[in-house]
């Protein structure tokens, strides 16, 4: 685990035990577009910093059961084939999607076989986030922004799901998207 780091508002970020995985056979051109977020030597540290910062920003909003000094979660960047398989197996929906979140807390769907397990015994296990690099690249093009920004947007969406946010209707989705935008500032 990493030590806490100060936030802009003076609060400290919780510790984070991150299990990061990058699927082996991803398109090198897309990996280049994703920059440091997909570079094997820097990606885990970059993701660690973003997720830890977001958890720090969200602390005051969380229900008491989800407030912790340390968290554990997994993040995998994969291709459309892998995420399509997970989407079918766990959501019973065909085809690739951009991000899936497998929450480990309070009535969340169970983690898929082989899911990450953090080694921080005192950390609150949140679950796993899986992002399709290929779908993220298409969406980045459609939205007119960088692949890095799209990956961060999708990771923040997944994290909010792990923390209990949902969007069953348009007003809920609007609130969730607004919160994601705030995290990315």
**Please, what is the Cα angle at 14 between 13 and 20, to 5 degrees?**
105
Tokens of residue 163, six digits: 């923390």
Name the class of domain 15-183: alpha beta
Residue with tokens 């994969």: 78
Digit-coded pLDDT (tens) for 92-110: 999 999 999 999 986 444 4
pLDDT at 82 over 80: yes
Q: Could you tell me what percent of the chain has a pLDDT over 70? A: 85
pLDDT over 90 (residue 64)? no
Total-model pTM: 0.86
Residue 118: its pLDDT value, please? 40
Q: pLDDT at position 11, please?
A: 55
* pLDDT of 177 above 60: yes
Q: What is the pLDDT of residue 105?
A: 82
Q: Go through 28-66 and write b for each residue having 16 or more CB atoms within 10 A of its CB, e for each that does not.
A: eebbebbeebbeeeebbebbbebbbbbbbbbbeeeeeeb
């Amino acid at each position: 685990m990493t030590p806490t780091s100060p936030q802009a508002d003076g609060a400290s970020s919780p510790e984070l035990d991150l299990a990061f995985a990058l699927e082996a056979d991803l398109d090198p051109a897309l990996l280049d577009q994703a920059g440091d977020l997909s570079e094997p030597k820097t990606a885990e540290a970059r993701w660690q910093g973003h997720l830890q910062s977001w958890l720090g920003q969200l602390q005051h909003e969380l229900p008491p059961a989800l407030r912790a000094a340390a968290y554990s979660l997994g993040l995998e960047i994969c291709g459309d084939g892998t995420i399509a398989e997970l989407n079918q197996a766990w959501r019973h929906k065909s085809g690739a999607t951009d991000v899936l979140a497998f929450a480990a807390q309070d009535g969340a769907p169970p983690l898929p076989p082989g899911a990450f397990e953090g080694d921080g015994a005192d950390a609150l296990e949140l679950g796993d986030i899986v992002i399709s690099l290929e779908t993220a690249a298409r969406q980045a093009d459609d939205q007119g922004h960088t692949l890095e920004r799209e990956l961060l947007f999708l990771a923040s969406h997944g994290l909010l799901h792990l923390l209990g946010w949902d969007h069953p209707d348009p007003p809920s989705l609007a609130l969730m998207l607004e919160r994601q935008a705030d995290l990315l500032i």
